[in-house]
Amino acid sequence: MFAVRGSKTIESVAFHLCERLRTFRTNFVRIKHTKRIVLGIETSCDDTGCAVVDDSGKILGESIHSQTQVHLEMGGIMPPLARELHEENINNVVSEALQNANLSIDEVDAVAVTTKPGLKSSLFVGTNFGKQLCLKSGKPFIPIHHMQAHALTARMIHEVEFPFLVLLISGGHCLLSVAQSPVNFLLLGYSLNDAPGEALDKTARRLMLRHIPELRNFCGGEAVERAAAKGNPEAIHITVPLLQYRDCNFSFAGLKQAAYQHIVYQEKKCGIAGGALIPDAYDLCASFLHTITVHLCQRVQRAMMFVKMNNLIPTSKQTLVVSGGVACNNYIRRGLDIVATHMDYKLVVPPPKLCTDNGVMVAWNGIEKLRVQSDIVTPAELDSISVEQRSLIGEDLTQSVSDAFIKVKWVKLNKLYKDNSTTQEKESSVNSIIK
């Protein structure tokens, strides 16, 4: 095949053959691994989560260790205990996620880790573990903002284009924001005190709902929702917060205090002690949950009007994404769906499994950042990574919203409870939104 005329020619042919073989192998690897793959680690609060996700949104493998039952028995989240449980379980959780994906750490493109906001002691565990993985494997590290990850999870499941409006509601956070890109957000409103999940959990604890057999194993928010289905939302008047403020901020501390005062009044009136249930506990749950829903819906409606006034979202792309643990609450979702429909918005809610804290949302946020080549940290730069207990989701426009002084004619939510006897049918219709 080759005319050999000396050693130099033989060496030249061998060199070119090796080069062709090297090129073929490189191209083969590129063809075989066309998809980006990211491993995500989540330890911002009380769950240790890890997942491996590719850039098509496919979950290749995942694992999670929940601390819910432990903290439920303790009466609330205990940061030192949360850290200890993270340290005990993170190695197994990450190993299991990789094993389920049938991949090694060398076969992923990057490691994404929640570094803010959250419980500082919990964030340290995941961040330090992720750093060690990157040092050993040489993979880049991608720091993740917990709330941005929640906001972008919907894009993994649904066709949601930037920009879109997002409401994040959980046990630790409540905020309204416009997501302009994977790394650019505009903050329109946030909770001035408690988060809605915190208010629901603490009210459930004070009501002693765990003493009801069928509610014993449910977290506070879900226990309130289930109890509320048996009550009358109009039975007990609870004032909707911040009606006098024309902004998009939230407040749940007053609602919690109103519920506490009612419980104390009923306990004294009925001579209740020793953790017994007050006689109108179901009505209180129903009224409490409805008022929270009205408060959320009103702030979202004003945000939609601010967005329209400032042309922040094209009318053809008006989408409201709702995520975070409290987004699993069917009653709240139904209320938000009523407002979204009235304002010509499409409501998008990730599946309940992805609304709560998990490694999937972190891995997917890593994919989004890889696409735009943002926040990619090399192993040599890992010392620059630190954790933050508090961190705004993006540029703060809350004062601009307040200055706009927008007056709103509220969408009526009466239909939420008029047909309360058909709750299961309503849940089915709302669940169709999130599939």
Q: At 141, which CATH number?
A: 3.30.420.40
- 329 and 225 share one domain: yes
How far lies 402's CA from each of 239, 252, 303, 398, in Å?
Answer: 21, 19, 11, 6
Domain assignment present for 396:
no
Residue 32, domain member (yes or no): no
Q: Residue 130's closest CA among 114, 107, 109? A: 114
Percentage with pLDDT > 90 across the chain: 77
Under 8 Å between Cβ of 406 and 245:
no
Q: Can you give the pLDDT at residue 81?
A: 82
23 within some domain: no
Same domain membership, residue 309 and residue 372: no
Q: Please state the rounded mean pLDDT for residues 37-64.
A: 96
Q: Look up residue 150 and give its DSSP letter.
A: H
Q: How many CB atoms lie within 10 A of CB 162?
A: 15
Encoded tokens for 431: 């669940």
SS3 151: helix
The overall average pLDDT reported for the chain is 88
Same domain, 122 and 76: yes
Is residue 208 located within the same domain as residue 276?
yes
Decide if 106 is inside a domain: yes
Per-residue confidence at 298, pLDDT binned at 50, 70, 90?
Answer: very high
- Let me know if residue 18 belongs to a domain: no
CA distances from 419 to 2, 6, 143, 229, 338 (A): 86, 93, 46, 11, 14
Q: Residue 61 domain-assigned?
A: yes
Per-residue pLDDT tens digits for 51-87? 999 999 999 999 999 866 554 555 556 788 888 989 9
Shared domain check, 128 and 97? yes
Q: Are residues 317 and 373 in the same domain?
A: no
Domain housing 107: 37-153+357-384
Give the lowest-confidence range in 28-32, 191-195, 226-230, 273-277. Answer: 28-32
For residue 184, count CB atoms less than 10 angstroms from its CB and return exposed for 0-12, middle for 13-18, buried for 19 or more. Answer: middle
Instruction: Say whether both 308 and 169 belong to one domain.
Output: yes
pLDDT 10s digits, 247-287: 999 999 999 999 999 999 999 999 988 678 999 999 999 99
Query: Looking at the domain assignment, is residue 392 inside a domain?
Result: no
Residue 175 maps to a domain: yes
* Separation CA 167–CA 249 (nearest Å): 12
pLDDT given at position 69? 59
423 and 364 both lie in a single domain: no
State whether 202 and 277 are in the same domain.
yes
Q: Are residues 193 and 307 in the same domain?
A: yes
Residues 112 and 68 in one domain: yes
pTM: 0.85
What pLDDT score was predicted for residue 52? 98
Say yes or no: 137 and 179 in one domain: no
Number of compact structural domains in the chain: 2
DSSP 320-370: EEEESGGGG-HHHHHHHHHHHHHTT-EEE---HHHHSS-HHHHHHHHHHHH
